[in-house]
């Protein structure tokens, strides 16, 4: 008598080892005459003395970036260092079918300005930010059918952000009589937030555009910044 016992299929991976979204499609395409001039301000009165101001207070450098989280991220957006990394946004474009009206189309991520201060803050916060998965709906097959009942579009995986407190944070909260809970890692469900986040320096800083495919996440690419960042060495030590 032959053994007809079926070998159980291996359980689907709950937490991805790498980001699966890189390379996926991300992008779903008469002024009035001025009134007569009655007064004039000289251009020289409208500009700062850059050499004097930069020597006294420094110049705030900022550049345009395409940022966001990829579709497999278990949260819809991540707010970090004063920057919102969204999964989707909306772009308002002309709609020729509506007689000069407008329509909204979904677009991936957001176009934002990053400054040196925000980059330094990212360097401080990201190593202490993780995503904890709550279930495996997005990766599960229905037993005996082979049908995926965890399609990421219909039944996405869920999770929440965890910020790992520093020792100074815990001591400060304890001194103030506030709850001070240390981070308890869950190696089966915790993933670095940088595995789902991307930040791409826009090649055209004047007419910035989103990319056509999702880039690799920050965990892989790191962050490019034109020039040097003051005080970065201290953060890396």
Dihedral sign of CA atoms 130, 136, 140, 144 in order: positive
- The predicted-structure confidence for 82-105, as pLDDT tens digits, reads as follows 999 999 888 887 877 776 688 888
Cβ neighbors of 92 (< 8 A, separation 6 or more) are: 102, 103, 104
Q: Does residue 50 lie in a domain region?
A: no
pLDDT of residue 53: 52
pLDDT of residue 142: 57
Q: Does residue 176 lie in a domain region?
A: yes
- The predicted-structure confidence for 130-157, as pLDDT tens digits, reads as follows 999 986 555 555 566 655 555 544 556 7
Q: Does residue 91 lie in a domain region?
A: yes
State how many domains the chain has: 1
Q: Does residue 210 lie in a domain region?
A: yes
The model's pTM: 0.66
- Could you list the residue range(s) of the whole structural domain that residue 134 is in? 59-236
Could you give phi then psi for residue 163, rounded to 5 degrees? -100, 120
**pLDDT band with cut points at 50, 70 and 90 for residue 59:** low
Q: What average pLDDT does the segment 8-25 reach? A: 72
Residue with tokens 């930010």: 129
Q: Does residue 17 lie in a domain region?
A: no
Q: Does residue 54 lie in a domain region?
A: no
Q: Does residue 31 lie in a domain region?
A: no
Considering only 43-47, 70-74, 105-109, which range has the smallest mean pLDDT?
43-47
């Amino acid at each position: 008598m032959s053994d007809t016992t079926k070998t159980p299929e291996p359980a689907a991976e709950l937490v991805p080892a790498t980001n699966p979204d890189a390379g996926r499609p991300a992008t779903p395409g008469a002024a009035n005459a001025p009134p007569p001039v009655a007064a004039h301000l000289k251009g020289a009165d409208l500009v700062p003395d850059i050499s004097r101001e930069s020597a006294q207070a420094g110049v705030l450098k900022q550049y345009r970036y395409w940022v966001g989280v990829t579709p497999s991220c278990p949260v819809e957006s991540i707010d970090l260092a004063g920057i919102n990394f969204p999964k989707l946004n909306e772009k308002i474009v002309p709609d020729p079918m509506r007689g000069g009206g407008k329509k909204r189309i979904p677009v991936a991520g957001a176009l934002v300005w990053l400054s040196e201060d925000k980059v330094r803050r990212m360097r401080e916060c990201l190593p202490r930010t993780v995503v904890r998965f709550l279930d495996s709906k997005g990766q599960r097959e229905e037993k005996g059918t082979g049908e995926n009942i965890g399609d990421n579009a219909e039944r996405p995986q869920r999770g929440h952000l965890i910020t790992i407190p520093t020792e100074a944070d815990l001591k400060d909260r304890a001194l103030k009589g506030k709850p001070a809970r240390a981070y308890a890692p869950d190696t089966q469900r915790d993933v670095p937030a940088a595995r789902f986040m991307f930040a791409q320096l826009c090649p055209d800083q004047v007419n910035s555009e989103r990319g056509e495919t999702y880039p690799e996440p920050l965990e892989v690419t790191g962050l490019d910044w034109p020039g040097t960042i003051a005080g970065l060495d201290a953060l890396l030590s």
